[in-house]
């Protein structure tokens, strides 16, 4: 059984000028121990999906439809207090900027101990020993001496390691990692990702890895979901999606990554920009930029369709598509 199931999730933001649909009909599963990468442009709804799963959508955003199930039980409609017990204990979260995610006034040890004693049946003394263990796990040198240091006494990369220890310390089954390396130096990114991947594998923790860095996805994820304008446009195994993307948008995305093995005169780019939430066109949301658009794309909205090894929300993979569709 899947660890996490997201079914037809819809998130709305009521505003003065009408309701904006930030996520529309988003569905995917994550199996135990699996790493699902989520990619897309800024504003595509990647982080929003993560926030909805941990139950911390920023008001006035709200889940307006669909379900989120953790081990078969619905968690999207739980009261705050019950959801609080799940956060940290069952679903951990890692945020983007390690410089701002740690409370500057408390030692990292205190933050770790507080998190563990909140969720696990252990006392402060035992929690302290475990905290030292976690700091060693995430690669903090001299963990025993540094546990009583404050966040500002660590570098950015070290702080993100502390954040990862905090997210993992109550041993959740799922980690929602929202751009965990974006704010780090490039030289540190690979180390932190490798460490995160190893730890997740050791503990059997599943991960939803939100990023716009395809390199990170290719290296870490088992499967990838590509998001566009609040919807999933393609989802499938990482190898397939990187090499043979089916949806024209994912293909554009992959073509815009500079290849290392050959010279190219010009990088491919996708013309135009993603529509604002208030101006998503009728039919396929990509129809304003798609090089292979045809009649049906302006009328009907595509569901996720079988496109060989992946599933793509594109009419090219429906019956009766124009000739030469299956690339």
Partner 1 sequence: MFSFVVSRILQALPVMFVVSLISFAMFAYVGDPVSIMLGQDFTEAQRTALVHDLGLDQPFFIQFATFVGNALQGEFGLSYRLSRPVAELIADRAPATLELAVCAAFIALAVGVPLGVYTGIFRHSWLSRFFLTFSLIGVSLPTFLIGILLILTFSVWLGWLPSFGRGDVVQIGWWSTGFLTWSGIKAMILPAITLGLFQLTLIMRLVRSEMMEVLRSDYIKFARARGLSNRSVYFGHALKNTLVPVITIAGLQLGSIIAFAIVTETVFQWPGMGLLFIQSVGAADIPVMAAYLMLIAAVFVTINLVVDLLYYAVDPRLRVGRGGH
Q: Could you list the residues that contact partner 1 (CB under 8 A)? A: 54, 56, 84-89, 92-93, 95, 97, 100-107, 114-115, 118-119, 149-150, 152-153, 163, 166-167, 170
Residue 78 or 190: the one with the smaller Cβ distance to partner 1 is 78
Q: What distance in Å separates the CA atoms of residue 304 and residue 234, rounded to the nearest whole number?
A: 7
Tokens of 104: 């500057």
- Complex with partner 1: residue 95 or 315, whichever CB lies closer: 95
Contacts of 122 (CB under 8 A, 6+ apart): 116, 130
Q: How far apart are CB 119 and partner 1 at their closest, in Å?
A: 6
Rounded distance between C-alpha atoms, residue 44 and residue 314, angstroms: 17
| Residue placing its CB nearer to partner 1 in the complex, 163 or 214 | 163
Closer of 94 and 226 to partner 1 (Cβ): 94
Strand partners, 57: none
Output the smallest distance, CB 79 to partner 1, in A. Answer: 12
Nearer to partner 1, 149 or 288 (CB): 149
**What phi, psi does 290 have (nearest 5°)?**
-70, 130
Query: Can you read off the two tokens belonging to residue 270?
Result: 């996708």
Comparing CB distances to partner 1, the nearer of 168 and 313 is: 168
Least Å distance between CB 11 and partner 1?
17
CB of 69 to partner 1, least distance (A): 19
Rounded (5°) CA angle 40-93-150? 120
The CA angle 193-199-200, to the nearest 5 degrees, is 90
Nearest-approach distance from CB 120 to partner 1, in angstroms: 11
Least separation in angstroms between residue 128's CB and partner 1 is: 17
* Shortest Å distance, C-beta 166 to partner 1: 6
Q: Are 208 and 20 in contact (CB under 8 A)?
A: no
Q: In angstroms, how far is the first alpha carbon of the chain from the final one?
A: 33
Coil, helix or strand at residue 14 = strand
What would the DSSP string read from start to end of 88-157? TTTEEEE-S-HHHHS-TTS-HHHHHHHHHHHHSS--HHHHHHHHHHHHHHTT-TTHHHHTT--GGGS-HH
Between residues 12 and 178, which has the closer beta carbon with respect to partner 1? Answer: 178
């Amino acid at each position: 059984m899947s660890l996490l199931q997201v079914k037809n999730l819809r998130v709305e933001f009521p505003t003065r000028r009408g309701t904006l649909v930030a996520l529309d009909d988003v569905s995917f599963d994550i199996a135990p121990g699996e790493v699902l990468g989520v990619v897309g442009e800024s504003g595509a709804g990647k982080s929003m999906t993560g926030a909805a799963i941990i139950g911390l959508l920023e008001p006035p955003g709200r889940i307006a439809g669909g379900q989120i199930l953790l081990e078969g039980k619905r968690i999207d409609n739980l009261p705050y207090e019950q959801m609080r017990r799940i956060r940290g204990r069952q679903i951990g979260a890692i945020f983007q900027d390690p410089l701002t995610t740690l409370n500057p006034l408390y030692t990292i040890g205190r933050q770790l101990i507080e998190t563990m004693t909140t969720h696990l049946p252990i006392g402060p003394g035992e929690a302290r020993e475990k905290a030292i263990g976690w700091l060693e796990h995430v690669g903090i040198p001299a963990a025993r001496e540094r546990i009583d240091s404050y966040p500002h006494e660590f570098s950015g990369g070290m702080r993100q390691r502390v954040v990862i220890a905090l997210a993992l310390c109550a041993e959740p089954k799922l980690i929602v990692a929202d751009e965990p390396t974006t704010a780090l130096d490039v030289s540190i990114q690979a180390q932190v990702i490798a460490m995160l991947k190893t730890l997740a594998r050791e503990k059997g923790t599943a991960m939803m890895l939100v990023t716009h860095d395809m390199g990170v996805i290719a290296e870490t994820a088992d499967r990838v979901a590509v998001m566009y304008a609040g919807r999933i446009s393609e989802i499938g195994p990482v190898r397939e999606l990187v090499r043979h993307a089916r949806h024209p948008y994912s293909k554009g995305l992959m073509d815009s990554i500079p290849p290392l093995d050959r010279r190219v005169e010009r990088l491919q780019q996708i013309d135009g920009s993603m529509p604002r939430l208030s101006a998503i066109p009728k039919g396929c949301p990509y129809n304003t930029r798609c090089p292979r658009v045809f009649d049906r794309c302006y009328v009907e909205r595509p569901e996720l369709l079988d496109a060989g090894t992946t599933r793509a929300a594109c009419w090219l993979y429906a019956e009766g598509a124009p000739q030469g569709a299956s690339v």
